[in-house]
Chain A
Amino acid sequence: GESVGLHLPTLSVQEGDNSIINCAYSNSASDYFIWYKQESGKGPQFIIDIRSNMDKRQGQRVTVLLNKTVKHLSLQIAATQPGDSAVYFCAENNSKGNDYKLSFGAGTTVTVRA
């Protein structure tokens, strides 16, 4: 069955360094992969998505990389700031199969050290 999971449950990063958050997926039929950020006490917030026909997409201070060969997704955050401390979830969607759902992984907690 499909599953979206993350390699590590926690990540500690020095302020100013780059962060890399990893995710493995198993559903080859998914055509969109997404990253969400959840700050303490709040609902998840969309960060960026990438379509399966791409291998890289950049946003503001973030880059998502997709490696379909090994079914791996990563989120890179440049110059990590204290406001980046949150739980990060990867998710997937299969729009071709008229799948209107997002399937979420367990999350990686990122802590930024001052």
Chain B
Amino acid sequence: NAGVTQTPKFRILKIGQSMTLQCTQDMNHNYMYWYRQDPGMGLKLIYYSVGAGITDKGEVPNGYNVSRSTTEDFPLRLELAAPSQTSVYFCASSRGGDRTTEAFFGQGTRLTVV
């Protein structure tokens, strides 16, 4: 059981480049999330999804886009990368309902924009 898998683990982007952070889960969870974590800080929600075809903005959605075409996959797209997007990105999933509180996180993608 792989849980939540994120790729890549590390990436360096130049300002203005674009990339997609991949996230897949094999637990058949309805809810999926993207968080970013800046050094020494907590997690800030970028986007979330409560099921295939449904996405919604979190606290810090600007500069990002998501899609949820399947239950398993929830890619995060960065358009026109900026230094302010240098961070560690975590994808997470949860079953939802009364188990919304128990989210399973991936290992993270460390992104540097130079």
| Residues in A lying within 8 Å of B, measured CB to CB | 32, 34, 41-46, 49, 89, 91, 93, 95, 100-107
- Nearest to A95 among chain B residues (CB) is B100
Partner pick for B101 among A32, A89, A105, CB 8 A cutoff: A32
Partner pick for B105 among A34, A41, A44, CB 8 A cutoff: A44
Provide the bound-state CA to CA distance between A100 and B41, in Å.
22
| Residues in B lying within 8 Å of A, measured CB to CB | 4, 31, 33, 35, 40-45, 48, 50, 58, 90, 92, 96, 98, 100-108
Number of A-B contacts (CB under 8 A): 59
- Nearest to B31 among chain A residues (CB) is A100
A44 — which chain B residues lie within 8 A by C-beta?
A: 43, 90, 92, 103, 105
Q: Can you list 19 A-B contacts (CB < 8 A)? A: A32-B100, A32-B101, A41-B107, A42-B108, A43-B106, A43-B107, A44-B43, A44-B92, A46-B103, A49-B101, A89-B43, A91-B101, A95-B100, A101-B33, A101-B45, A101-B48, A101-B58, A103-B45, A106-B42
B31 — which chain A residues lie within 8 A by C-beta?
A: 100
Provide the bound-state CA to CA distance between A13 and B40, in Å.
20
B42 — which chain A residues lie within 8 A by C-beta?
A: 89, 104-107
Given A43-B90, A100-B50, 12 extra CB contacts under 8 A: A32-B101, A34-B101, A43-B4, A43-B105, A43-B106, A89-B43, A93-B101, A101-B33, A102-B33, A103-B45, A104-B42, A106-B41
Contact A100 B90 (CB under 8 A): no
- B4 CB to nearest A CB, Å: 8
- A36 CB to nearest B CB, Å: 8
- A1 CB to nearest B CB, Å: 10
Provide the bound-state CA to CA distance between A80 and B81, in Å.
42
Contact A104 B43 (CB under 8 A): yes
- Nearest to B92 among chain A residues (CB) is A43
Partner pick for A100 among B48, B105, B108, CB 8 A cutoff: B48
Provide the bound-state CA to CA distance between A41 and B40, in Å.
13
Provide the bound-state CA to CA distance between A23 and B103, in Å.
19
A104 — which chain B residues lie within 8 A by C-beta?
A: 35, 42-44
